[in-house]
C-alpha cells in the first residue's frame, strides 16, 4: 500500500475543529492548541507536543476522545501516538471564526536553582542509582508518580545536586510549570519576615501557586512549631492539587526529632530514597569527571590515591582535588604521587579518623565479647552475636554523628530500620538489665578514652 494513502492530516484538522467547538476557549489555548500533526502511518496518526507534561495530560484527558473521533471520520481503527517534539509554527491554520490564539505563558525561572546542577553531571553508582532514577522519573513526569519524594543521606552525598537537577530539568522541558526551590532555612526566614511585615497572604500565595515545590534540608525545621504548621498547610494544599513535592533531609525522617508527627507522616507518604557513601569505583569516576570539568589533567595513580583514602563523601573528594589543582597552578608544578601524599596527609588523617569511627567501635565491642568483627558485621543470628551487634550499633549512634543509614552501611549494608530497632532494644535493656547497662557504659568509656589518647 503506498504511504501517501496513510495521510490522516485532513482528518486531524477536522478533529481540531470539533474539539474547539466542545471545550472552553481557555482549555483549548492551554492544552489542545499545543498539539500538532507530525506524521501518518498505516492506521496510526502521530501527534507532537512540546513537553512530557503536556503529553501525559493530553494522554489522560483527551486521547480517548481524539481516537474515537478519528475512527468515526476515517471508518478505520486508528491508533494515536503522542511524541515530545519542538514544534514549528503552523503554516496553515484551520479556518475558524476566532481571533488568533495567544501562546501559553512561560513561567519565570527560579533564580535560587543553580544551573550547574544537572542530571548529566551527576555520577551514578550503586550507592545512588535508586535515588537518581527516582529523581529523573519525577523530573520527566512531575505530579504523576513518586509524589511526594524524600531524598535523604549524609553531608556531601548529592542531595542538593539531585533536587536542583529536578528543578533545572522541569524548567527546561516544561516551562509552563512554576518551579519553586528553597532551603528549609530560607522558607523559615521568609515566613518570619512575612509575619513581621504582615505579608503572610503574599507568602502563602508564592508557595501555594507552585506547580513543583523543592525544599532542601527539612531537618532545619526541628523545634520550629509555627513554621512546621505553615509547611503542613502548604504541603496539603499542593498535594491535594496533584502538584509535585520533593524534599531532602540528612537522615531518615523517622530519626528527625522535634517535628510534628502529622508533618512526618506527610513527608513519608510517598517515596523515600537514600544516598549512601560512594564505593571506590564511583569515587574514582567522580574524581575523573571533576578533573575533566576543571580542565586539569591528573594522573590515574593520584586519582586512585585520593579515592582510596577519602571514603566519606563527594564534597571531601572534590576538596582534595581542588587543593591539588590550586597547588599546581600557584607553583607551576605537575602533581606527582609524592606531592599528593605530602599535600593531603593532614586531610587524609582526619578523614581516616572519621571513617574508622564505626570500625573502631566494632573492634572494641568484638574484643569485649570475645567474638570477631567479621561476625558482628555478618549474618549470624545467634544470641552470642546479636546482642554485641546491637550494642555496637547503639554505641555508634550514641557517641558519633553518623546517621542510622550510614551505620547500617558499615554493618554489612543493613537497612537503617535495623539500626533503629537495635538502638531501641538496647535502650530498653539499659533500663531493665543492670549487666547490659554496665557493659554499655564500660564500652563507651573505653572507646572515648582511646579517642582522646589519639
Instruction: Say whether pTM exceeds 0.85.
Output: no
Give the pLDDT of residue 277: 83
Q: What is the pLDDT of residues 104-114, one digit of tens each?
A: 567 888 889 99
The reported pLDDT for the residue numbered 386 is 93
Q: Is residue 159 part of a domain?
A: yes
Asked if residue 231 is part of any domain, the answer here is: yes
Task: Look at residues 31, 71, 37 and name the one whose alpha carbon lies nearest to residue 55.
Answer: 31
Check which CATH number belongs to the domain holding 59 and give it.
3.30.300.180
Q: Which residues of 102-128 are buried (b: 16+ CB within 10 A; e: fewer)?
A: eeeeebeebeebeeebebeebbbbebb
Specify whether 123 is located in the same domain as 42.
no
Verify that 19 and 80 share a domain, yes or no.
yes
Q: Write the pLDDT tens digit of every residue in 150-182.
A: 999 888 889 999 999 999 999 999 999 999 999
What is the maximum span of the chain, computed from C-alpha positions, in angstroms?
A: 89
Mean pLDDT of 207-225: 93
pLDDT (mean) for 212-228: 94
Question: What mean pLDDT do residues 33-53 have?
Answer: 88
Structure confidence at residue 417 (pLDDT): 85
Pairing of strands 44-49, 79-84: parallel
Positive or negative: CA dihedral 181, 187, 191, 192: negative
Across the beta sheet with 149-153, what order do the strands follow? Answer: 179-183, 212-216, 244-249, 149-153, 271-275
Same domain, 146 and 158: yes
269 shares its domain with 128 = yes
246 and 302 fall within a common domain: no
pLDDT at 4: 45
Place of cell 602533581: 335
Q: What is the domain range of residue 296?
A: 280-353
Are 346 and 363 found together in one domain?
no
94-103, 220-229, 249-258: least confident range: 94-103
Beta partners for residue 149, in sequence order = 246, 271
Which of 275, 305, 326 represents a domain boundary (last residue)?
275
Q: Is the pLDDT of residue 77 over 90?
A: no
Residues 6 or more apart from 438 whose CB is under 8 A from it? none
b/e sequence 209-228, b meaning 16+ C-beta within 10 Å: ebbbbbbbbbbbbeebeebb
Which tens digit of pLDDT belongs to each residue from 335-361? 999 999 999 887 775 554 444 468 889
Is pLDDT above 70 for 320?
A: yes
What residues have CB less than 8 Å from 79, skipping those under 6 apart?
43, 44, 45, 67
Q: Is residue 111 part of a domain?
A: no
* End residue of a domain, out of 298, 318, 353: 353
The average confidence (pLDDT) of the chain is: 86
> Would you say residue 59 lies in a domain?
yes
Return the minimum-mean-pLDDT range out of 43-47, 61-65, 200-204, 296-300: 61-65
At residue 98, does pLDDT exceed 50? no
Element (DSSP H or E) covering residue 375:
helix 373-377
106 assigned to some structural domain: no
Looking at residue 269, what DSSP letter applies?
Answer: S
Q: Does the pLDDT at position 76 exceed 70? A: yes
What b/e sequence results for 145-181 when a residue is b if at least 16 CB atoms lie within 10 Å of its CB, and e otherwise? Answer: ebbbbbbbbbebbbbbbbbbbbbbbbbebbbbbbbbb
For position 428, what pLDDT does the model report?
87
- Residues 226, 301, single domain; the answer is no
Q: What is the CATH number of the domain that holds 408?
A: 1.10.1750.10
- Cα distances from 98 to residues 32, 35, 351, in angstroms, run 15, 18, 69
Number of helices followed by number of strands (H, E) in the chain: 20, 8
The per-residue pLDDT for 5 is: 58
Phi, psi (degrees; rounded to nearest 5) at 151: -105, 120
Burial class (CB in 10 A: 0-12, 13-18, 19+), 257: exposed
Residue 208: the pLDDT is 87
The domain that contains 147 carries what CATH number? 3.40.50.300
Asked if residue 40 has pLDDT above 70, the reply is yes
* pLDDT of 105: 64
Which range is least confidently modeled, 17-26, 87-96, 375-384, 395-404?
87-96
State how far the Cα of 435 lies from the Cα of 413, in Å rounded to an integer.
Answer: 29
Q: What is the mean pLDDT of residues 244-264?
A: 91
Total domain count for the chain?
4
Answer yes or no: is 114 within a domain.
no
- R_g over Cα of the chain: 28
Whole-angstrom distance, CA of residue 127 vs CA of residue 162 = 14
Element (H, E) at 260: none
Q: Which three cell numbers stand for residue 210?
A: 507552585
pLDDT per residue as tens digits for the range 1-14: 344 457 888 888 88
Same domain, 291 and 402: no
**Cα–Cα separations (whole angstroms), residue 64 to 56, 127, 257, 382:** 13, 41, 49, 60
Residue 131 confidence (pLDDT) above 70? yes
Which among 63, 84, 105 is the end of a domain? 84
pLDDT of residue 89: 46
Give me the pLDDT at residue 64, please: 87
Same domain, 135 and 247: yes
pLDDT at position 90 over 50: no
Side-chain-side CA neighbours of residue 432 (13 Å): 6
Please state the separation of Cα 158 from the chain's center in Å: 8
Q: Summarize pLDDT for 369-381 with one digit per residue, the tens.
A: 999 998 999 888 8
Please check the confidence at residue 97 and state whether its pLDDT lies above 80.
no
Residue 110: inside a domain: no
Residue pair 48/84 in contact by the 8 Å Cβ criterion:
yes
Question: Are residue 34 and residue 176 in the same domain, yes or no?
Answer: no
CA distance 288 to 282: 10
* DSSP at 367: H
Please tell me the predicted confidence (pLDDT) of residue 70. Answer: 87
Same domain, yes or no, for 137 and 217? yes
SS3 content of the chain, % helix, strand, coil (to 5): 60, 10, 30
Give a yes or no: residue 108 inside a domain.
no
Report whether pLDDT(130) > 70: yes
80-94, 323-337, 438-452 — which one is most confidently predicted on average?
323-337
- The per-residue pLDDT for 59 is 86
373 and 349 both lie in a single domain: no
Amino acid at each position: 500500500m503506498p504511504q501517501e494513502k496513510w495521510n490522516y492530516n485532513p482528518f486531524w484538522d477536522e478533529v481540531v475543529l470539533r474539539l474547539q467547538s466542545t471545550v472552553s476557549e481557555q482549555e483549548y489555548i492551554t492544552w489542545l492548541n499545543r498539539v500538532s500533526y507530525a506524521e501518518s502511518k498505516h492506521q496510526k496518526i502521530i501527534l507532537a507536543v512540546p513537553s512530557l507534561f503536556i503529553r501525559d495530560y493530553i494522554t489522560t484527558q483527551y486521547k480517548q476522545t481524539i481516537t474515537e473521533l478519528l475512527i468515526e471520520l476515517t471508518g478505520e481503527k486508528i491508533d494515536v501516538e503522542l511524541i515530545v517534539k519542538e514544534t514549528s509554527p503552523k503554516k496553515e491554520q484551520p479556518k475558524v471564526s476566532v481571533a488568533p490564539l495567544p501562546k501559553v505563558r512561560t513561567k519565570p525561572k527560579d533564580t535560587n536553582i543553580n544551573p550547574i546542577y544537572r542530571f548529566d553531571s551527576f555520577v551514578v553508582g550503586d550507592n545512588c542509582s535508586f535515588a537518581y532514577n527516582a529523581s529523573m522519573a519525577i523530573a520527566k513526569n512531575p505530579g504523576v508518580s513518586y509524589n511526594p519524594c524524600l531524598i535523604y543521606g549524609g553531608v556531601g552525598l548529592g542531595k542538593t545536586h539531585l533536587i536542583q537537577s529536578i528543578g533545572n530539568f522541569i524548567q527546561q522541558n516544561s516551562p509552563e510549570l512554576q518551579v519553586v526551590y528553597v532551603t528549609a532555612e530560607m522558607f523559615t526566614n521568609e515566613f518570619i519576615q512575612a509575619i513581621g511585615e504582615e505579608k503572610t497572604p503574599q507568602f502563602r500565595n508564592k508557595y501555594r501557586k507552585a506547580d513543583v515545590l523543592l525544599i532542601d534540608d527539612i531537618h532545619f525545621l526541628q523545634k520550629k512549631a509555627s513554621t512546621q504548621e505553615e509547611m503542613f498547610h502548604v504541603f496539603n494544599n499542593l498535594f491535594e492539587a496533584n502538584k509535585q513535592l520533593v524534599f531532602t533531609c540528612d537522615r531518615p525522617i523517622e530519626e528527625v526529632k522535634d517535628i510534628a508527627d502529622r508533618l512526618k507522616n506527610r513527608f513519608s507518604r510517598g517515596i523515600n530514597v537514600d544516598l549512601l557513601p560512594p564505593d571506590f569505583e564511583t569515587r574514582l569516576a567522580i574524581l575523573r569527571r571533576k578533573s575533566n570539568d576543571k580542565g586539569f589533567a591528573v594522573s590515574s595513580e593520584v586519582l586512585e590515591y585520593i579515592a582510596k583514602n577519602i571514603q566519606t563523601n563527594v564534597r571531601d573528594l572534590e576538596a582534595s582535588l581542588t587543593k591539588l589543582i590550586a597547588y599546581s597552578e600557584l607553583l607551576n608544578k605537575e602533581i606527582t604521587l609524592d606531592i599528593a601524599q605530602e599535600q593531603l596527609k593532614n586531610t587524609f588523617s582526619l578523614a581516616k579518623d572519621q571513617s574508622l569511627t564505626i570500625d573502631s567501635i566494632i573492634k572494641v565491642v568484638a574484643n569485649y565479647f570475645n567474638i570477631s568483627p567479621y561476625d558482628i558485621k555478618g549474618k549470624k543470628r545467634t544470641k552470642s552475636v546479636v546482642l554485641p551487634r546491637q550494642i555496637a550499633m547503639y554505641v555508634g549512634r550514641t557517641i558519633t554523628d553518623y546517621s542510622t543509614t550510614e551505620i547500617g552501611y558499615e554493618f554489612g549494608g543493613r537497612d537503617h530500620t535495623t539500626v533503629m530497632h537495635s538502638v531501641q532494644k538496647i535502650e530498653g535493656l539499659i533500663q531493665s538489665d543492670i549487666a547490659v547497662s554496665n557493659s554499655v557504659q564500660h564500652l563507651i568509656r573505653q572507646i572515648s578514652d582511646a579517642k582522646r589518647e589519639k
